[in-house]
């Protein structure tokens, strides 16, 4: 039987690891070499017991009394998250939102490279010029295969989202960041993170009123 070397890490813990990584990179930029679990936990806004528990996924590590080596911990976390080397990503649906995301410079800094954008109508005049190559949908499969892409950002209209998601899954995409306001049906081994901007605002609207 195949044995998993690492225990399955809960999704919430993965989000927290991303938070720790942000804090560690800030420390590193300020030339700080070691950090105590209390200080790191405080910076990330979690309890230090939680932080220590999350870091047990990496096994035994950290020097008692000295805290964590900032560089080493940052490296281990980004290794686990798969962002130590640039991860290729594709974006489908170059409308207003897709265009805005393509113009965002922050992805590369976090380890993601949008290697191609796809649209049913790539020739349509757009408000902005983009550096990312813009392909017709007929090239979706070949580009994904050639660049060995595993992740996709979906910014097509709701009516097209499921059909496009099916094509992505069929060609081997296993992570989808879905901005379309529908619930996608995908096989169990595919992860969908949905961002519905209107729902997020509605949620804030409730809290600012109460």
Rounded Cα gap, residues 203 and 126, in angstroms: 32
Specify the residue, 66 or 100, whose C-beta has the smaller distance to ligand ATP: 100
Give the shortest CB-188-to-ligand ATP separation in angstroms. 25
Give the shortest CB-176-to-ligand ATP separation in angstroms. 14
Contacting residues toward ligand ATP, per CB under 6 A: 92-98, 119-121, 137, 155-157, 160, 164
Specify the residue, 77 or 91, whose C-beta has the smaller distance to ligand ATP: 91
Specify the residue, 55 or 117, whose C-beta has the smaller distance to ligand ATP: 117
Rounded Cα gap, residues 19 and 124, in angstroms: 39
Residue nearest to ligand ATP (CB): 95
Give the shortest CB-109-to-ligand ATP separation in angstroms. 23
Specify the residue, 54 or 119, whose C-beta has the smaller distance to ligand ATP: 119
CB 114 within 8 A of CB 132: yes
Give the shortest CB-193-to-ligand ATP separation in angstroms. 17
Specify the residue, 175 or 181, whose C-beta has the smaller distance to ligand ATP: 181
What ranges in the chain are assigned the alpha helix state H?
A: 11-29, 37-44, 48-55, 70-81, 96-103, 106-109, 140-147, 158-170, 197-209
In whole angstroms, how large is the CA radius of gyration of the chain? 20
Query: What sign has the CA pseudo-torsion 90, 95, 99, 101?
Result: negative
Give the shortest CB-9-to-ligand ATP separation in angstroms. 32
* CA 183 to mean position of chain CA atoms: 18
Rounded Cα gap, residues 152 and 178, in angstroms: 8
Number of helices and strands in the chain (H, E):
9, 8
């Amino acid at each position: 039987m195949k044995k998993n070397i690492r225990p399955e890490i809960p999704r919430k813990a993965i989000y927290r690891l991303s938070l720790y990584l942000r804090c560690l990179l800030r420390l590193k930029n300020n030339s700080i070499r070691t950090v105590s679990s209390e200080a790191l936990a405080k910076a990330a806004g979690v309890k230090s017991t939680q932080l220590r528990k999350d870091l047990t996924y990496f096994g035994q590590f950290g020097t008692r009394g000295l805290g964590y080596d900032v560089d080493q911990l940052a490296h281990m976390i980004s290794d686990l998250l798969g962002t130590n080397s640039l991860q290729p990503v594709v974006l489908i649906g170059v409308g207003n939102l897709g265009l805005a995301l393509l113009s965002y410079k922050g992805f590369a800094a976090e380890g993601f490279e949008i290697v191609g954008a796809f649209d049913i109508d790539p020739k349509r005049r757009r408000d902005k010029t983009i550096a990312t190559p813009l392909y017709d949908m007929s090239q979706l499969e070949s580009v994904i295969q050639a660049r060995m892409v595993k992740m996709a950002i979906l910014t097509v209209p709701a009516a097209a989202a499921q059909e496009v998601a099916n094509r992505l899954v069929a060609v081997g995409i296993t992570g989808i960041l879905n901005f379309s306001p529908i619930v996608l049906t995908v096989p169990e081994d595919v992860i969908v993170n949905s961002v519905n901007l209107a729902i997020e605002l509605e949620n804030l609207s409730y809290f600012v009123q109460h």
